[in-house]
Amino acid sequence: MNNDRVLCENRQARFNYEILETHEAGIELLGTEVKSIRAGQVNLQDAFALIRNGELFLLNMYIAPHQTTGKYFNHEPRRTRKLLMHKQEIRKLEGAVTQKGLTLVPLRLYLQKGWIKVAVALVRAKKLYDKREDIRKREDQRDMARMLKHR
């Protein structure tokens, strides 16, 4: 990620899920969707990916309708969008999702050489005690940093 511009990030995913591996995917968009994404009017909060008939789809991602375009030519905000990946990668992900009971979640939407890409992660849901442990570790690190800073 050397000169990629992050357009939207799903911060909640890192808290709710244990990230096992990430993959890069292209995304099939309409013109008004691209304009809205570049304007920063996108939300990945409740989005997830599914594999249907050997193809990868992104569901529930919200892209606000474009401001200056009329209703007739505008897009539907929460429509299903196709993700573009190689067949081998999709088959590998499909195996992990069906056998191990894992989930595909988008982590961030970014601009790479003029193309909008999605970082999709293979994740496992965290239990409540895992979340508490992460919070405790974060607080301990903050306390240690404060102690070192005051010395």
- The CATH number that applies at residue 24 is 2.40.280.10
Asked if residue 62 is part of any domain, the answer here is: yes
Number of domains in the chain: 1
pLDDT in the model for residue 32: 82
Asked if residue 29 is part of any domain, the answer here is: yes
Asked if residue 11 is part of any domain, the answer here is: yes
pLDDT in the model for residue 1: 46
Residues whose CB is less than 8 angstroms from the CB of residue 108 and which lie 6 or more positions away in sequence, other chains included:
6, 7, 8, 9, 10, 44, 118, 119
Question: Are the C-beta atoms of residues 48 and 59 closer than 8 Å to each other?
Answer: yes
pLDDT in the model for residue 13: 85
The residues with which 6 forms a beta bridge, in sequence order, are 110
For residue 114, give the 3-state DSSP assignment.
Answer: coil
Q: What value does the mean pLDDT of the chain take?
A: 86
pLDDT in the model for residue 71: 67
- Strand spans (E) along 10-143: 17-27, 42-43, 48-52, 55-59, 62-63, 81-84, 103-112, 115-125
Is a pLDDT exceeding 90 seen at residue 130?
no
Asked if residue 52 is part of any domain, the answer here is: yes
Asked if residue 22 is part of any domain, the answer here is: yes
Residues whose CB is less than 8 angstroms from the CB of residue 140 and which lie 6 or more positions away in sequence, other chains included:
none
When pLDDT is cut at 50, 70 and 90, the band that residue 69 belongs to is low
pLDDT in the model for residue 119: 92
Asked if residue 138 is part of any domain, the answer here is: no
Relative to beta strand 55-59, strand 81-84 is antiparallel
Total residue length of the chain: 151
Domain with 105, as residue range(s), is: 5-126
- Tell me what the mean pLDDT of segment 15-42 comes to: 87
Rounded CA gap, 120 and 34, in Å? 19
Percent of the chain exceeding pLDDT 70 equals 95
pLDDT in the model for residue 2: 58
